[in-house]
Amino acid sequence: MEFFERFMIPHPSFLIYVSMVLIVLVSVALVAVITYFKLWGYLWREWITTVDHKKIGIMYLLMALLMLFRGGVDAIMLRYQLSMPENTFLDAQHYNEVFTTHGVVMILFMAMPFITFFFNYLVPLQIGARDVAFPRLNNLSFWLFFMGAMLFNLSFVVGGSPDAGWTSYFPLADNEFSTSVGTNYYMIAIQIAGIGTLMTGINFITTIMKMRAPGMTLFKMPMFTWSALIANLIIVFAFPVLTVALAMGTMDRLFDTKFFAIGNGGMDMLWANLFWVWGHPEVYILILPAFGIFSEVISTFARRNLYGYKSMVWSMIVISVFAFTVWTHHFFTMGQGAFTNSIFSITTMAIAVPTGVKIFNWLFTLYKGKIEFTTPMLYAVHFIPLFTLGGVTGVMLAMSAADYQYHNTMFLVAHFHNVIIPGVVYAMLAGFTFYWPKMFGFMLNEKIGKATVWVMSTGFLLAFMPMYITGLDGQARRMYTYSESTGFSTLNMVSFVGAGIMAVSFIMLVWNIWYSFKNSPRNIGSDPWDARGLEWATHTPIPAYNFAITPDVTDSTSEAFWDMKKKGTQIFKGEIKKIHMPNYSGVPFIMSCGFFLLGFSLIFSMWIPAIVGLIVILAGMAHRSFEKDHGYYIPEEDVKATEKQYEKRGAK
């Protein structure tokens, strides 16, 4: 019995008990359904062991939507708690746990898999490759991310949630002040998911550098691929910092080292420093692919090629350098001198310049375009003004002297939601709607889609504009309640209503998927949007080998498919030959189960199962080292037969 006591929740409540029951019921139901329909073999053969970048992408997408739901529920709880003064819906401890979870889930387990979904799904198609450079590593990346996310989501029902904020600053995050295992969950779950992300970064840099179609020079890559390249470059240089910081934090908590402790030569400020050395580049890891998606969407529906391709690329390259020079603006008030703050104020304002260049490029692309207001375009058109507003308040926060006023108020909260929601989330949903027909062979309903955008923007404005005002009036961030006399109550109620409207837009999104699945026509061909990039040049649904003949874009521009349609440029030259493909493998999944076991055991300081987990991981690596796996060939006849089937259906 004593053994099991460690898994108890230190601070339970009725809601948590309800969630426990629900989790058990849903898990049992899921297992029952899969067993009843005999789907275990199918899942294992087609999804769990897959190395196909398209399927891995779709699994990332599912995770992202699931986590969007989880983070969204947290957000509604937070807004409801603050909607009235002296509200008792959540107590201080639960409020801390919920905002910590909301932040971590939304950034690391919603936004990150969403952009990774786009990397996976689009990059090989846009560069005319058959798969990524290291397909099996890609599978491992996904499962590490999945295990990290599951571990983190387990925390609130087993052992207690992390409660030190998504930034988890020391000394608060140290054992002295965070006594439950919650912060262990934070350190280890993010570590596991982070290793997966690091692998993704290496994988995609290699893919883009080495596997581009013949004739595709760097400056002929589609804009999304460029943004993916830069984002992955930043991943490879920023994530190791997080890995090291988390490892040091883990050691502080588990083995009583003193890296971030207050006494004994430790330095708590070093955590904040390292966290943001990773944390600020992370912002650009999220936003650059989002910009890439918007570039694709805007040029497609303005029916013009992207204005200023080269300046777009150079602004991203400049951002990749500047991203690493601004991190101090997250803690202007930590106590360093005015000299340091001034330097980082200037670099922060400077980074607004390349971002501004991109905004103007999109505006000039729209200028004199034949704009077509489809759902993805509507997201993009809403993005430009809303994101600019977020950018301007960002420049306000960049002024270090003024930041002493805004720091840790709702003004800051409003600012970063103002850039992340219209920036990242809108881009992800625009891309999601835009590429949906390519993935599943039918369109999402346009009417519901457009309504969703309007509802979402309305909710967004109502939810976050009041925070700017209450923030300037002094409402502190992360405070679980306030008194009537502060006068914050009306605006916070408005904010809650806005959050509710945003929840409605999420339900509309889900409803749209269901409605379109039932009603949308399936004979839409492979190019329903009249799009421009190479990714649209293949069939729908995309065959496992992507392109029967490797495209050759020597004679085309960065919009190879458009050139093919409008100028008759040949991309597919030569004959169909046998195609080399990578084999599926179950080892990465088993390895990531080892990671899960290792992580879970470390969280509760159970050393023997931790060693078992570690052995599983090492055994998987050893197996890979000695394994001979040269992939397989799809014979010429099979490729021809598949292609003929597509022709018969008139898909091309």
Partner 1 sequence: MAKYFPLGQVMGFVFSLILTGLALLVHFTDMSMKTGMIVLLVTAFLQAGLQFAIFMHAGETKDKWSIYSNIVYGFAMVIITILGTLLILLWDM
- Write each residue from 6 to 45 as x if it is in contact with partner 1 (CB under 8 A), else as -, in one continuous string: ----------------------------------------
Residue of 171, 149, 254, 111 lying closest to 607 (CA atoms): 254
The C-alpha angle 193, 76, 178, rounded to 5 degrees, equals 50
Shortest distance, position 369 Cβ to partner 1, whole Å: 35
Cβ proximity to partner 1, 227 vs 601, nearer residue: 227
Segment 413 to 472, residues that bind partner 1, using CB under 8 A: none
Q: What is the nearest approach in angstroms of partner 1 to the Cβ of residue 339?
A: 5
- Specify the residue, 114 or 327, whose C-beta has the smaller distance to partner 1: 327
Question: In the complex with partner 1, which residue's Cβ is closer, 278 or 547?
Answer: 278
Size of residue set near partner 1 by CB under 8 A: 23
Q: Is 167 in the site for partner 1 (CB under 8 A)?
A: no
User: Would you give the DSSP letter of residue 447?
Assistant: H
Tokens linked to 455? 């509802």
Minimum Å gap between C-beta 407 and partner 1 is 16
* Rounded Cα gap, residues 143 and 98, in angstroms: 25
Binders in 536-575 for partner 1, by CB under 8 A: none
Which residue type is seen at 421?
A: I
| Helices and strands, counts by H and E, the chain | 22, 2
Q: Among 23, 154, 269, 371, which residue sits at the site for partner 1 (rule: CB under 8 A)?
A: 269
The answer to whether residue 233 forms part of the interface with partner 1 (CB under 8 A) is: yes
Closest approach, Cβ 315 to partner 1, in A, equals 16
Q: Using CB under 8 A, which of 261, 277, 430, 548 touches partner 1?
A: 277
Q: According to the binding rule CB under 8 A, does residue 209 interact with partner 1?
A: yes
Q: Which is nearer to partner 1, 325 or 458 (CB)?
A: 325
Q: Is 28 exposed, middle or buried (0-12, 13-18, 19+ CB in 10 A)?
A: exposed
Burial of residue 400 (number of CB atoms within 10 Å: 0-12, 13-18, 19+):
buried
Closer to partner 1 by Cβ: residue 340 or 570 = 340
Type of residue numbered 504: V
β-pair partners for 476: 409
**49, 138, 273, 592: which one contacts partner 1 (CB under 8 A)?**
273
**Strand 632-634 relative to strand 579-581, pairing:** antiparallel
Q: Within positions 210 to 229, which residues make up the interface with partner 1, using CB under 8 A? A: 210
Taking the C-alpha atoms of residue 55 and residue 12, their distance in angstroms, rounded to an integer, is 39
Nearest-5° Cα angle at 416, 414 to 418:
65
Q: Based on CB atoms, which residue is closest to partner 1, 105 or 205?
A: 205
Min separation Cβ 293 and partner 1, Å: 25
Amino acid at 153: N
Q: How far is the CB of 274 from partner 1 (least distance, A)?
A: 8
- When the beta carbons of 202 and 508 are compared against partner 1, the nearer one is 202
| Residue 270 interacting with partner 1 (CB under 8 A) | yes
Build a one-symbol-per-residue string for 398-417: x at contacts with partner 1 by CB under 8 A, - elsewhere: --------------------
Which residues is 634 bridged to in the sheet? 579
CB of 267 to partner 1, least distance (A): 7
Closest CA to 448 of 460, 436, 440, 439: 436
Q: Coil, strand or helix: which one is 342?
A: helix
Q: Nearest distance from residue 173's CB to partner 1, in Å?
A: 18
Pick from 90, 241, 288, 639 the residue near partner 1 by CB under 8 A: 241
3-state secondary structure of 541: coil
Name the minimum Å distance from CB 487 to partner 1.
Answer: 37
Of 334 and 384, the one with the shorter C-beta distance to partner 1 is 334
Q: Which stretch binds partner 1 (CB under 8 A): 270-278, 388-396, 538-546, 583-591?
A: 270-278
How many C-beta atoms lie closer than 10 Å to residue 130's C-beta? 20
| Interaction residues for partner 1, span 311-350 (CB under 8 A) | 320-321, 324-325, 327-328, 334-337, 339-340, 343
Task: Give the nearer residue to partner 1 in terms of CB position, either 343 or 593.
Answer: 343
Shorter beta-carbon distance to partner 1: residue 225 or 273: 273
Residue among 147 and 323 whose Cβ is closer to partner 1: 323
DSSP secondary structure, 128-189, as one string: T-SS-SSHHHHHHHHHHHHHHHHHHHHTTTTT----STTTT-TTTTSTTT--STHHHHHHHH
Q: Does 169 bind partner 1 (CB under 8 A)?
A: no
- Write down the least CB distance from residue 141 to partner 1, Å: 21
Q: Does 172 bind partner 1 (CB under 8 A)?
A: no
Does position 267 bind partner 1 by CB under 8 A?
A: yes
Minimum CB separation from partner 1 for residue 232, in Å?
12
Cβ closest to partner 1, residue 93 vs residue 336: 336
CA angle, corner 360, sides to 358 and 364, nearest 5?
A: 120
- Could you tell me which stretch among 60-68, 251-259, 267-275, 380-388 binds partner 1 (CB under 8 A)? 267-275
Name residue, tokens 């519901």. 448
Identity of the residue, 78 or 277, whose beta carbon is nearer to partner 1 in the bound complex: 277
Apex CA 46: angle with CA 43 and CA 52, to 5°?
Answer: 135
Q: Which is nearer to partner 1, 335 or 650 (CB)?
A: 335
Asked if 563 and 215 touch (Cβ cutoff 8 Å), the reply is: no
Q: Smallest distance, Å, CB 260 to partner 1?
A: 12
**Treating both helix axes as pointing N-terminal to C-terminal, what angle do 375-398 and 426-440 enclose, rounded to 10 degrees?**
150
CB of 505 to partner 1, least distance (A): 39
Residue 603 tokens, joined: 């969280």
Query: b/e string for 281-319 if b means 16 or more Cβ within 10 A?
Result: bbbbbbbbbbbbbbbbbbbbbbebebbbbeebbebbebb
Instruction: Give me the half-sphere count of Cα atoms (radius 13 Å) on the Cβ side of residue 587.
Output: 19
Minimum Å gap between C-beta 245 and partner 1 is 12
Distances in Å between the alpha carbon of 10 and those of 70, 157, 161, 180, 256?
A: 22, 10, 9, 7, 22
Binds partner 1 (CB under 8 A): choice among 44, 80, 237, 440: 237
Q: Residue 337 CB, nearest distance to partner 1 (Å)?
A: 4
Binding interface with partner 1 (CB under 8 A): 209-210, 233, 237, 241, 267, 269-270, 273, 277, 320-321, 324-325, 327-328, 334-337, 339-340, 343
